[in-house]
Amino acid sequence: MTSKAMKKFHAGAVLLALVFVSASVAAEAQPYTAEAMWRLKRLGDPAISPDGRMAVVPVTTYDIAENKAITNLWLVPTKPGRARQLTSGDTSDNSPAWSPDGQWIAFVSKRGDDEQAQLYVIPVDGGEARRITNVPTGVIAPKWFPDSKRIAFLSQVWPDLKSWQEMEARMKERANPKMSAQVWSKAPIAYWDRFLDDRETHVYAVSITGGEPVALTLGSGYSLDVAEPDASSYDISPDGTELAFAANVDKTGIDPNFDIITLPLDGGTPTNLTADNPANDLSPLYSPDGKLLAYRRQLIKGFYADRARLMIYDRRNRTTRGLTDDWDRSADGLVWSPDSSALFGSIDDAGTRRVYRFDVSGGPPRAITREPSFSSLAVAGSGPVIVALRQSFIEPPTLVSIIARTGAATKLTDFNDAALAQLAPGRYERVTYKGANDEDVQMWIVYPPDFTPDKRWPLYLLLHGGPHNAMTDGYQWRWNAQVFASWGYVTAWHNFHGSSGFGNAWADSISKEWGELPYRDTIEAAKWFAAQPWIDPERMAAGGGSYGGYLATYLLGREHPFKTLIAHAPVYNAYTQYASDYGATKKRHGEFWEDFARFERNSPHMRAANFRTPMLVIHGQRDLRVPVNHSIELFNTLQVLGVPSQFVYFPDENHWILKPQNSLFWYETMRKWLAKYVPPGATALSPDAATDSAVPEPAVEHHSGE
């Protein structure tokens, strides 16, 4: 037997061994349904105690019948031990932040008669939560001052109003208007699912004993991100004397540029540290010893997927240097080590989110984890102690501790263990195939729980969104491959040209021509599957949302092997996409009136005459990123052409389907549509195919459902 044959035989043997395990589990367990997925608990970003001994994590449970989410806070030892529920009730408690003295946890919640989310504190040792703000415009992203006596937070306020009473009056007036018109004189006017008004985001501080919050950035001449502010938008120096925040210095509304601003809290003059960079500088983070300020820098203006470089500003010398100038990944999810010698980050790296260490002294970044994915890092104590959320295609986010030296992870929570033990997941693997330009494309494959390679299975090829958002080894709530696989489909995600985590050139390769390379990668993926004896080439479907919906519609007008296509929130008409929430921004590669030919090549609607494939179209009315007109235009065009099609419309959803009952309907509608055109389940191999049913050689790793 040749070496190649031996490798193929070995891969097939491993596959079969895992299949037998999966089949045994499947005989005892329940199908991995959408309903079962919605019954799982969802963990939010953890916070860690200053001594590193405890973590607090938000845990969300959904009441499917009521379409309601309830989030409570849990205290979890960072060494294996028993978790304790810290808050309870039928409201949602989020954004926990641990006081530096370790005595209190601040969080944000709507309780009782709160109309907007307010700031609460609760003693770690137990007791009732106490509300410390009554801010009519609401509270987000709390952070403690080092004295543990004050808490900073963000609120979106009207800068022309002087008092909270005036804010409250305007809130009520806007909530119940006698006249409903809104007027804008400049962009932006909307973001994802809401229209923006004339408010600004500012930092405030309040005593833990309550009282009037004090404005910190209001009047500085700068404000924070108005569209999506969060805790990464600002930081407080360890001595409590300075604030650093990311502010959009663009005054036109169409050319965003975020800079890092430092503001002395004794009333001094703000300083723009990054005025020399025309692209974005984001996520300021003081070192624990107060000597350094880290932040993330992009260099290509107008390219949101440009890699973010890790920058270090020396506060004494007022000098800046880059730590990752020669590293072709994006620094993200950063936290300082307690001794200020390094930072850790959760890095999008070739289909997996890995924890990397960045030494301040220099040297190449070092991965300390490999598989699966880790995110939401928090670090404290000696060692140091790192906690994170671990997840994969078969594991929903689970709190773990990580040894900084080796990357070894210890599981700390079991919120979903009992539910998962009742389910039959399919195993999954990473493969690589040759795509456009004969370049390697990484792809994930999730197999049905009862998969065997001696039969032929249908394919559901998923098209991820973004487009610069790679599909990493993580748990997907909105497009769950385990659910699709449980229906009887081999399910795959391919990280086509343009995906993040594979280097800047790969991400930027589709910036001018949005569709061609991902289209060719998709066709080559389909060819790769069609060549496998365990795939039925007459039963292949493809579908995706957002950019994935665009790619599905791009396929619709071109040659492809799919029996049906599914487009959720698709960009169908490149011209009317100017109605979107980011429509009025300067385009890096020019406007459509400057290059009609390029827009026509890349707009799916220009090939409507070629539409033949049955298509399911889905959209939410509140979607302002890809407005609903795209799906209406697409569906009506399909109807005029006589192409079998269905339009599913959600009047109360945005770019995503987020409500439990709507989501269940979404999954069930998709299941029925796929079954109509691509029947699920296995069929017998043809005699020729039966002679070689081993797993394909490009598969490089296997994951069981254990």
Residue at 501 is within a domain: yes
pLDDT for 584: 84
Mean pLDDT of 228-236: 97
pLDDT for 689: 53
Mean pLDDT of 619-645: 98
pLDDT for 23: 40
On average, the pLDDT of the chain sits at: 93
Residue at 288 is within a domain: no
| Least trusted range by pLDDT, from 343-352, 583-592, 619-628 | 583-592
Distance CA 301, CA 310 (A): 17
Residue at 640 is within a domain: yes
E strand intervals along 547-614: 564-568
Tens-digit pLDDT profile for residues 147-192: 999 999 999 999 999 999 999 999 999 998 889 999 999 899 999 9
Residue 304 has pLDDT above 80, yes or no: yes
Residue at 554 is within a domain: yes
How far is residue 501 from each of residues 327, 506, 508, 683, measured CA to CA in Å? 12, 9, 12, 37
Range of the domain at 515: 424-582+592-685
pLDDT for 1: 35
**Sign of the torsion formed by the C-alpha atoms of 693, 479, 463 and 502:** negative
Tens-digit pLDDT profile for residues 59-87: 999 999 999 999 999 999 999 889 999 99
pLDDT for 685: 85
Please list, in sequence order, all residues whose beta carbon lies within 8 angstroms of the beta carbon of residue 579, skipping any fewer than 6 positions away: 627, 629
**pLDDT bracket for residue 7 (50, 70, 90):** very low
Mean pLDDT of 655-661: 98
Residue 499 has pLDDT above 60, yes or no: yes
Mean pLDDT of 513-527: 98
How many domains does the structure of the chain reveal? 1
pLDDT for 16: 34
Helix, strand, or coil here: 489?
Answer: coil
Q: How far is CA 531 from the centre of its chain?
A: 33
Distance CA 159, CA 167 (A): 10
Residue at 472 is within a domain: yes
Helix, strand, or coil here: 638?
Answer: helix
Residue 19 has pLDDT above 50, yes or no: no
Residue 435 has pLDDT above 90, yes or no: yes
Mean pLDDT of 545-552: 98
Residue at 702 is within a domain: no
pLDDT for 8: 40
Q: Within 10 A of 247 (CB to CB), how many other CB atoms are there? A: 25
Query: Which helix (DSSP H) or strand (DSSP E) does residue 601 occupy?
Result: helix 596-602
Tens-digit pLDDT profile for residues 401-416: 999 999 999 999 999 9
Residue at 283 is within a domain: no
Tens-digit pLDDT profile for residues 357-392: 999 999 999 999 999 999 999 999 988 999 999 999
Tens-digit pLDDT profile for residues 314-331: 999 999 999 999 999 999
pLDDT above 90 covers what percent of the chain?
88
Tens-digit pLDDT profile for residues 201-217: 999 999 999 999 999 99
pLDDT for 687: 66
**pLDDT bracket for residue 29 (50, 70, 90):** confident
Largest CA distance in the chain: 83
Mean pLDDT of 18-46: 76
pLDDT for 688: 62
- CATH code, domain carrying 651: 3.40.50.1820
Mean pLDDT of 417-427: 97
pLDDT for 151: 98
pLDDT for 648: 98
Of 446, 439, 449, give the one whose Cα is nearest residue 486: 449
Residue 638 has pLDDT above 90, yes or no: yes
Residue at 25 is within a domain: no
Please list, in sequence order, all residues whose beta carbon lies within 8 angstroms of the beta carbon of residue 109, skipping any fewer than 6 positions away: 87, 91, 92, 93, 94, 117, 118, 120, 129
**pLDDT bracket for residue 6 (50, 70, 90):** very low
Asked if residues 458 and 491 have their Cβ atoms less than 8 Å apart, the reply is no
pLDDT for 399: 98
Tens-digit pLDDT profile for residues 662-697: 999 999 999 999 999 999 999 998 766 554 444 444
